[in-house]
Amino acid sequence: MWPFFLTVQDLQNVCCHLNIALGPGVERTHISLEKIWAEKAGTQQPIGQYLNQTFVNIYAADQWQLFKDFVAEYKDRFGRSPILNPEGQFKMDFLQTTKKELQDRGLQEQNTYKAWFDKHIITTDEEGCSNALFLTPWSSGEPDYRDTYRERPSWAGDGFRYWFVCPYAEAPEMIIPIGQMSRVTHQREWLPVAIGVMSAKGTDIDLVELIRDMMVETGMETQVKVGRTPFQMRDDHESVLKQEDGQRSLRLFDPSG
Protein backbone atom coordinates (compact mmCIF):
# COMPACT_ATOMS: atom_id res chain seq x y z
CA MET A 1 0.00 0.00 0.00
CA TRP A 2 2.93 2.37 0.58
CA PRO A 3 5.38 2.07 -2.35
CA PHE A 4 7.76 4.66 -0.91
CA PHE A 5 11.51 4.86 -0.52
CA LEU A 6 11.02 5.64 3.16
CA THR A 7 11.23 2.64 5.48
CA VAL A 8 10.20 2.10 9.08
CA GLN A 9 13.82 2.64 10.08
CA ASP A 10 13.86 6.02 8.35
CA LEU A 11 11.01 7.16 10.60
CA GLN A 12 12.66 6.38 13.94
CA ASN A 13 13.23 10.05 14.74
CA VAL A 14 9.53 10.81 14.29
CA CYS A 15 8.66 8.07 16.76
CA CYS A 16 11.15 9.62 19.18
CA HIS A 17 9.25 12.88 18.89
CA LEU A 18 6.00 11.13 19.74
CA ASN A 19 7.56 9.23 22.63
CA ILE A 20 8.72 12.52 24.12
CA ALA A 21 5.24 14.04 23.78
CA LEU A 22 3.38 10.98 25.10
CA GLY A 23 5.78 10.19 27.92
CA PRO A 24 7.12 6.84 29.16
CA GLY A 25 5.19 3.61 28.90
CA VAL A 26 4.16 4.02 25.27
CA GLU A 27 4.72 0.88 23.23
CA ARG A 28 5.58 1.07 19.54
CA THR A 29 4.28 -1.77 17.38
CA HIS A 30 4.69 -2.49 13.67
CA ILE A 31 1.46 -3.88 12.22
CA SER A 32 0.20 -5.23 8.93
CA LEU A 33 -3.35 -4.27 8.00
CA GLU A 34 -3.45 -7.11 5.49
CA LYS A 35 -2.51 -9.68 8.13
CA ILE A 36 -4.91 -8.40 10.80
CA TRP A 37 -7.70 -8.21 8.23
CA ALA A 38 -7.10 -11.83 7.21
CA GLU A 39 -7.24 -12.92 10.86
CA LYS A 40 -10.09 -10.76 12.19
CA ALA A 41 -12.33 -9.44 9.42
CA GLY A 42 -14.44 -12.56 9.02
CA THR A 43 -14.15 -12.66 5.23
CA GLN A 44 -12.09 -14.87 2.96
CA GLN A 45 -11.18 -11.98 0.66
CA PRO A 46 -7.93 -10.05 1.23
CA ILE A 47 -8.48 -6.45 2.28
CA GLY A 48 -7.37 -5.08 -1.09
CA GLN A 49 -9.78 -7.33 -2.93
CA TYR A 50 -12.71 -6.75 -0.57
CA LEU A 51 -12.38 -2.95 -0.78
CA ASN A 52 -11.29 -2.77 -4.41
CA GLN A 53 -14.46 -1.05 -5.67
CA THR A 54 -15.67 0.52 -2.42
CA PHE A 55 -14.69 4.10 -3.18
CA VAL A 56 -16.06 3.94 -6.71
CA ASN A 57 -19.33 2.43 -5.60
CA ILE A 58 -19.87 5.01 -2.86
CA TYR A 59 -19.23 8.19 -4.82
CA ALA A 60 -20.15 7.38 -8.42
CA ALA A 61 -23.97 7.42 -8.22
CA ASP A 62 -24.15 10.79 -6.44
CA GLN A 63 -21.46 12.33 -8.62
CA TRP A 64 -23.23 11.24 -11.78
CA GLN A 65 -26.46 12.84 -10.62
CA LEU A 66 -24.68 16.15 -9.99
CA PHE A 67 -22.70 15.91 -13.22
CA LYS A 68 -25.79 15.06 -15.27
CA ASP A 69 -27.77 17.96 -13.81
CA PHE A 70 -24.89 20.36 -14.54
CA VAL A 71 -24.59 19.27 -18.18
CA ALA A 72 -28.37 19.47 -18.70
CA GLU A 73 -28.57 22.95 -17.14
CA TYR A 74 -25.62 24.15 -19.23
CA LYS A 75 -27.18 22.86 -22.46
CA ASP A 76 -30.51 24.47 -21.59
CA ARG A 77 -28.92 27.85 -20.89
CA PHE A 78 -26.27 28.05 -23.63
CA GLY A 79 -27.58 25.67 -26.28
CA ARG A 80 -24.46 23.48 -26.33
CA SER A 81 -22.56 21.02 -24.20
CA PRO A 82 -19.98 22.36 -21.75
CA ILE A 83 -16.30 22.18 -22.63
CA LEU A 84 -14.76 19.58 -20.35
CA ASN A 85 -11.10 18.95 -19.58
CA PRO A 86 -9.77 15.36 -19.95
CA GLU A 87 -10.75 14.51 -16.38
CA GLY A 88 -14.30 15.74 -16.98
CA GLN A 89 -14.52 13.86 -20.28
CA PHE A 90 -13.44 10.65 -18.60
CA LYS A 91 -15.92 11.13 -15.76
CA MET A 92 -18.71 11.85 -18.22
CA ASP A 93 -18.11 8.53 -19.96
CA PHE A 94 -17.45 6.46 -16.85
CA LEU A 95 -20.15 7.74 -14.50
CA GLN A 96 -22.94 6.85 -16.91
CA THR A 97 -22.18 3.17 -16.29
CA THR A 98 -22.79 3.35 -12.53
CA LYS A 99 -25.82 1.93 -10.71
CA LYS A 100 -27.47 3.12 -7.51
CA GLU A 101 -27.54 -0.36 -5.97
CA LEU A 102 -23.74 -0.46 -6.08
CA GLN A 103 -23.67 2.47 -3.67
CA ASP A 104 -25.44 0.40 -1.02
CA ARG A 105 -22.85 -2.33 -1.52
CA GLY A 106 -20.00 0.17 -1.16
CA LEU A 107 -21.46 1.62 2.04
CA GLN A 108 -21.81 -1.89 3.50
CA GLU A 109 -18.18 -2.63 2.68
CA GLN A 110 -17.10 0.60 4.32
CA ASN A 111 -19.17 -0.17 7.44
CA THR A 112 -17.54 -3.61 7.67
CA TYR A 113 -14.10 -2.03 7.42
CA LYS A 114 -14.92 0.62 10.01
CA ALA A 115 -16.21 -1.92 12.54
CA TRP A 116 -13.05 -3.99 12.04
CA PHE A 117 -10.79 -0.95 12.33
CA ASP A 118 -12.48 0.32 15.51
CA LYS A 119 -12.19 -3.08 17.16
CA HIS A 120 -8.74 -4.26 16.06
CA ILE A 121 -6.64 -1.27 14.92
CA ILE A 122 -7.45 1.87 16.95
CA THR A 123 -9.69 1.33 19.96
CA THR A 124 -11.01 3.81 22.51
CA ASP A 125 -11.27 3.71 26.30
CA GLU A 126 -14.40 4.22 28.41
CA GLU A 127 -14.10 8.00 28.07
CA GLY A 128 -13.80 7.87 24.29
CA CYS A 129 -10.06 8.61 24.22
CA SER A 130 -7.90 6.97 21.58
CA ASN A 131 -5.83 4.04 22.88
CA ALA A 132 -3.36 4.24 20.01
CA LEU A 133 -1.93 6.36 17.21
CA PHE A 134 -1.49 4.97 13.73
CA LEU A 135 1.40 6.33 11.63
CA THR A 136 1.55 6.03 7.85
CA PRO A 137 4.03 7.44 5.29
CA TRP A 138 2.42 10.01 3.00
CA SER A 139 4.99 11.72 0.82
CA SER A 140 8.53 10.60 0.11
CA GLY A 141 10.01 13.66 -1.57
CA GLU A 142 9.40 12.39 -5.09
CA PRO A 143 9.11 15.21 -7.66
CA ASP A 144 5.82 15.80 -9.48
CA TYR A 145 6.76 17.93 -12.45
CA ARG A 146 4.20 20.36 -13.86
CA ASP A 147 5.78 20.45 -17.33
CA THR A 148 5.28 16.73 -18.00
CA TYR A 149 2.66 15.56 -20.47
CA ARG A 150 0.27 13.04 -18.94
CA GLU A 151 -2.05 10.41 -20.29
CA ARG A 152 -5.80 11.00 -20.28
CA PRO A 153 -7.17 10.24 -16.78
CA SER A 154 -8.39 6.67 -16.50
CA TRP A 155 -8.45 5.93 -12.75
CA ALA A 156 -11.99 5.69 -11.40
CA GLY A 157 -11.01 5.11 -7.78
CA ASP A 158 -10.51 1.35 -7.65
CA GLY A 159 -8.10 -0.30 -5.22
CA PHE A 160 -7.39 0.10 -1.52
CA ARG A 161 -4.92 3.00 -1.33
CA TYR A 162 -3.10 4.34 1.70
CA TRP A 163 -5.19 7.51 1.58
CA PHE A 164 -8.35 5.41 2.10
CA VAL A 165 -7.23 4.03 5.49
CA CYS A 166 -8.42 7.08 7.42
CA PRO A 167 -11.68 8.13 5.67
CA TYR A 168 -13.03 4.58 5.52
CA ALA A 169 -12.63 4.46 9.32
CA GLU A 170 -14.13 7.97 9.66
CA ALA A 171 -11.12 8.77 11.84
CA PRO A 172 -9.12 12.01 12.13
CA GLU A 173 -5.68 12.20 10.54
CA MET A 174 -3.04 14.91 10.49
CA ILE A 175 -0.35 15.10 7.83
CA ILE A 176 2.83 16.54 9.30
CA PRO A 177 6.22 17.32 7.71
CA ILE A 178 9.13 15.33 9.04
CA GLY A 179 11.95 16.55 6.82
CA GLN A 180 13.06 17.37 3.30
CA MET A 181 14.32 15.08 0.55
CA SER A 182 17.00 16.21 -1.90
CA ARG A 183 17.02 15.32 -5.56
CA VAL A 184 20.22 15.92 -7.53
CA THR A 185 19.51 17.07 -11.09
CA HIS A 186 21.17 20.18 -12.47
CA GLN A 187 21.10 21.48 -8.92
CA ARG A 188 20.04 20.20 -5.51
CA GLU A 189 16.36 20.64 -4.72
CA TRP A 190 14.57 19.86 -1.44
CA LEU A 191 11.11 18.34 -1.50
CA PRO A 192 8.88 17.80 1.56
CA VAL A 193 8.53 14.43 3.26
CA ALA A 194 5.44 13.83 5.40
CA ILE A 195 3.64 11.19 7.42
CA GLY A 196 0.05 10.79 8.55
CA VAL A 197 -0.89 10.38 12.21
CA MET A 198 -4.32 8.85 12.87
CA SER A 199 -6.33 8.49 16.07
CA ALA A 200 -9.77 7.10 16.90
CA LYS A 201 -13.00 8.59 15.59
CA GLY A 202 -14.20 11.50 17.72
CA THR A 203 -10.73 12.49 18.96
CA ASP A 204 -10.05 15.19 16.37
CA ILE A 205 -9.24 17.98 18.82
CA ASP A 206 -7.15 15.69 21.01
CA LEU A 207 -5.06 14.69 18.00
CA VAL A 208 -4.50 18.30 16.91
CA GLU A 209 -3.44 19.35 20.40
CA LEU A 210 -1.12 16.34 20.77
CA ILE A 211 0.64 17.07 17.46
CA ARG A 212 0.94 20.74 18.34
CA ASP A 213 2.46 19.97 21.74
CA MET A 214 4.79 17.38 20.23
CA MET A 215 6.13 19.79 17.61
CA VAL A 216 6.65 22.57 20.15
CA GLU A 217 8.27 20.38 22.81
CA THR A 218 10.68 18.65 20.44
CA GLY A 219 11.65 21.70 18.40
CA MET A 220 10.06 20.57 15.15
CA GLU A 221 9.24 23.20 12.55
CA THR A 222 5.80 24.73 13.13
CA GLN A 223 5.82 27.34 10.37
CA VAL A 224 6.26 27.10 6.62
CA LYS A 225 8.79 29.58 5.29
CA VAL A 226 8.74 31.60 2.08
CA GLY A 227 11.17 30.53 -0.62
CA ARG A 228 12.49 27.38 -2.28
CA THR A 229 12.46 25.28 0.91
CA PRO A 230 9.50 25.14 3.31
CA PHE A 231 11.69 24.62 6.39
CA GLN A 232 14.96 25.98 7.63
CA MET A 233 18.01 23.85 6.94
CA ARG A 234 19.61 23.09 10.32
CA ASP A 235 22.68 20.90 10.00
CA ASP A 236 23.17 20.76 13.77
CA HIS A 237 19.77 19.10 14.26
CA GLU A 238 19.62 16.79 11.27
CA SER A 239 19.92 13.09 10.70
CA VAL A 240 20.83 12.36 7.09
CA LEU A 241 19.70 9.10 5.50
CA LYS A 242 21.18 8.31 2.08
CA GLN A 243 20.17 5.89 -0.62
CA GLU A 244 22.84 3.62 -2.10
CA ASP A 245 23.17 5.59 -5.32
CA GLY A 246 24.00 8.71 -3.31
CA GLN A 247 21.52 10.80 -5.24
CA ARG A 248 18.94 11.23 -2.49
CA SER A 249 19.11 12.07 1.18
CA LEU A 250 16.43 12.54 3.82
CA ARG A 251 16.96 15.12 6.54
CA LEU A 252 14.98 14.39 9.68
CA PHE A 253 15.07 16.83 12.60
CA ASP A 254 16.48 15.03 15.63
CA PRO A 255 15.03 16.02 19.02
CA SER A 256 18.19 14.92 20.79
CA GLY A 257 20.21 17.58 18.99
Question: pLDDT tens per residue, the chain (257 residues)?
Answer: 433 444 444 566 667 667 766 777 777 788 889 999 999 998 889 999 999 999 989 988 888 888 889 999 999 999 998 998 888 888 888 888 888 889 999 999 999 999 999 999 998 888 888 888 888 877 766 666 777 777 766 666 788 888 899 999 999 998 887 766 665 555 566 677 778 889 999 999 999 988 888 878 777 777 777 877 777 655 433 433 343 344 444 444 433 33
247's CB contacts (< 8 A; 6+ apart) are 183, 184
| 2 located within any domain | no
Dist. CA 76–CA 88, nearest whole Å: 19
Q: 104 phi and psi, to 5 degrees? A: -60, -40
d(CA 95, CA 231): 42
* Res 254: pLDDT: 37
Q: Is there a domain that residue 203 lies in?
A: yes
Max distance between CA atoms of the chain, in angstroms, equals 68
Does residue 237 form part of some domain? yes
Domain range for 189 is 9-24+121-145+152-253
Query: Does residue 97 sit within a domain?
Result: no
What confidence score (pLDDT) does residue 183 get?
A: 57
- Whether residue 54 lies inside any domain: the answer is no
Residue 96 falls inside a structural domain: no
Reported in sequence order, the residue ranges of 96-205 that DSSP labels E, i.e. its strands, are 134-140, 173-184, 188-198
Report yes or no on 34 lying in a domain: no
Q: Tell me whether residue 233 is in a domain.
A: yes
| Domains: count for the chain | 1
Q: What are phi and psi of 195, to 5 degrees?
A: -130, 160
